[in-house]
Amino acid sequence: MTTPPPDPLARDAGIRAFVHLPAAAAAAPAAAAAPAAAGEAGLTAGIKDVIETADMPTALGSEHYRGRGTGRDAAVVAMLRAAGIRIVGKTTTAEFAYRDAPATINPLDPGRTPGGSSSGSAAAVAAGLVDCALGTQTGGSIIRPAAYCGVVGFKPTFGLVPTSGVMQLAPSFDTVGVLAKNVPLVARLAEIIAGLPALTVPEGPPRVGVLPEHELTRCEPEMVGALSRANELISAAGGEFIALELPVGLDRLRELHALINAYEGARSLAAEVAHCRAQTAGLIERGLRLEPADYAAAVAELEQLRPLFDDALRAVDVVLSPASLGLPPLGLTHTGGSDFCQPWSAARVPAVTIPLRPAREGLPLGMQFTAPRWQDASLLGWAAWLEQVFAGA
């Protein structure tokens, strides 16, 4: 990691990670390397533009709300400020935290998407414009862009971090989380917004659960290779791999997620029908066609399944799954698939993605680790252990 250059405002012009970045931010650049050790007072943060800030506009990724002020800090923003973290600006988001992408580029490869919907949060951290950023995830909106941009992303257990003052998309899944360069800094942020204890890195090695083979058929070749490389590295460090038995296949979680996401999203965005972009409009249209009884049945089925997934995950220390299908798509119109994020969002379990750099040249890929609900502290401890193993490769 290199020390950021002195003018984030100028650097951001090429990346477009920020939708609002006051000139004052340029006068006091982000802290240099090893931010976790620098203490909160030295840390800078970007805030995804669906999270309210009393002193900056909150436009929800929508032209319709450009410059909109709400005069109130979201709870998580108040928590960061109380801890002495400096909010430098608002990061770009896909429209209404769904799929219509902003113009943000991927700092690792300008021809590729940074992913979404927390596009700017991931890009700003990857480019060193800030030490950390807040994001939100309903399907894969933290894990996917973090993975595409080669940074660490953390989606906590649903309900652990307050969503007060945060735009709603699908309240059954909406979760605020953190993106940063490394796990210790993510863990420090999680102490502040989730009330977790200080990071404790276990001695290891972990028991790592892996998905049934047939669950991985949709992965692209690069991801298959990366998972295999992660397996080798963890095994070489003494880790044990255990085949996971799931209560139902991930496809069932994807179906339930899609139904509930569309039903709730269409209703949460009732005020946006007249002025939204194509992906949002499609979501609303799909959601309004759904029957309340089918929605209620899906909610009930997920309520039954969640404790069963907790039990399945409790058989190991962490579960390894892909953070994405493969490399970030080329171009800036498609923010990529979230096939391996939606199931964990539906299960409401905590998830963290750690970048695994390829043996030779090329882009990193995200290795996603999950654990039962409320085991966030343990998950981050193991993530720090795994990050060290990956870094030594």
Active site residue 117: yes
Which of 5, 195, 212, 331 contacts a second copy by CB under 8 A?
Answer: 195
Q: Give the x/- contact pattern for a second copy in 358-377, rule: CB under 8 A.
A: ---------------xx---
How far, in Å, CA of 21 to CA of 263, rounded? 34
Q: How far is the CB of 65 from a second copy (least distance, A)?
A: 7
Residue with tokens 């970030």, as numbered in its chain: 328
383 in Cβ contact with 371 (< 8 Å): no
Q: How far is the CB of 217 from a second copy (least distance, A)?
A: 33
Total residue length of the chain: 393
Cα radius of gyration rounded to whole Å, the chain: 19
Which of 42, 69, 204, 362 contacts a second copy by CB under 8 A?
Answer: 69
Q: Is 65 in the site for a second copy (CB under 8 A)?
A: yes
Helices 292-313 and 250-268 pack at an angle, to 10 degrees, of: 130
Q: Give the x/- contact pattern for a second copy in 293-312, rule: CB under 8 A.
A: x--x--xx--x--xx-----
DSSP secondary-structure letter at 89? E
Active site residue 164: no
Applying CB under 8 A, the span of 32-40, 129-137, 153-161, 214-222 interacting with a second copy comes to: 153-161
Q: Is 163 in the site for a second copy (CB under 8 A)?
A: yes
Question: Would you say 78 or 178 has its CB closer to a second copy?
Answer: 78
Strand positions, DSSP E, 67-205: 86-91, 132-137, 152-155, 175-180
Q: Which of 118, 119, 121, 141 does the annotation list as catalytic?
A: 141
* Chain residues 70-99 in contact with a second copy, contact rule CB under 8 A: 70-79, 82
Q: Is 43 in the site for a second copy (CB under 8 A)?
A: no
State how far the alpha carbon of 82 is from the alpha carbons of 75, 76, 150, in Å: 11, 10, 29
Q: Is 286 in the site for a second copy (CB under 8 A)?
A: no
How far, in Å, CA of 315 to CA of 326, rounded? 27
Question: Would you say 15 or 79 has its CB closer to a second copy?
Answer: 79
Q: Which of 117, 119, 324, 338 does the annotation list as catalytic?
A: 117
| Strand order across the beta sheet in which 152-155 lies | 18-20, 86-91, 44-48, 132-137, 175-180, 152-155, 351-356, 365-370, 318-322, 207-210, 240-243
Applying CB under 8 A, the span of 7-15, 27-35, 228-236, 288-296 interacting with a second copy comes to: 288-296
DSSP code per residue over 221-258:
HHHHHHHHHHHHHHHHTT-EEEEPPPSS-HHHHHHHHH
Applying CB under 8 A, the span of 118-126, 131-139, 262-270, 360-368 interacting with a second copy comes to: 262-270
Q: Is 160 in the site for a second copy (CB under 8 A)?
A: yes
Q: Is 5 in the site for a second copy (CB under 8 A)?
A: no
Q: Establish how many alpha carbons lie within 13 A of residue 209's alpha carbon, considering only the half-sphere containing its beta carbon.
A: 21
Which helix (H) or strand (E) segment holds residue 209: the answer is strand 207-210
Q: Is 314 in the site for a second copy (CB under 8 A)?
A: no
Q: Is 54 in the site for a second copy (CB under 8 A)?
A: yes
Active site residue 62: no
Q: How far is the CB of 138 from a second copy (least distance, A)?
A: 12
Q: Is 248 in the site for a second copy (CB under 8 A)?
A: no
Residue with tokens 């252990």, as numbered in its chain: 385
The 3-state secondary structure of 341-375, one letter per residue: CHHHHHHCCCEEEEEECCCCCCCCEEEEEECCCCC
Angle at 181 between CA 177 and CA 187, to 5 degrees: 50
Query: Which residues, in sequence order, are bridge partners of residue 250?
Result: none
Question: Would you say 161 or 208 has its CB closer to a second copy?
Answer: 161
Q: Give the x/- contact pattern for a second copy in 326-345, rule: CB under 8 A.
A: --------------------
Applying CB under 8 A, the span of 3-11, 32-40, 67-75, 352-360 interacting with a second copy comes to: 67-75
Chain centroid offset of residue 382 CA:
18
Interface with a second copy (CB under 8 A), residue total 45
Catalytic machinery residues: 48, 117, 141
Q: Which residues bind a second copy (CB under 8 A)?
A: 54, 65, 68-79, 82, 157, 159-160, 162-165, 167-168, 171-172, 195-196, 264, 267-271, 273, 292-293, 296, 299-300, 303, 306-307, 373-374
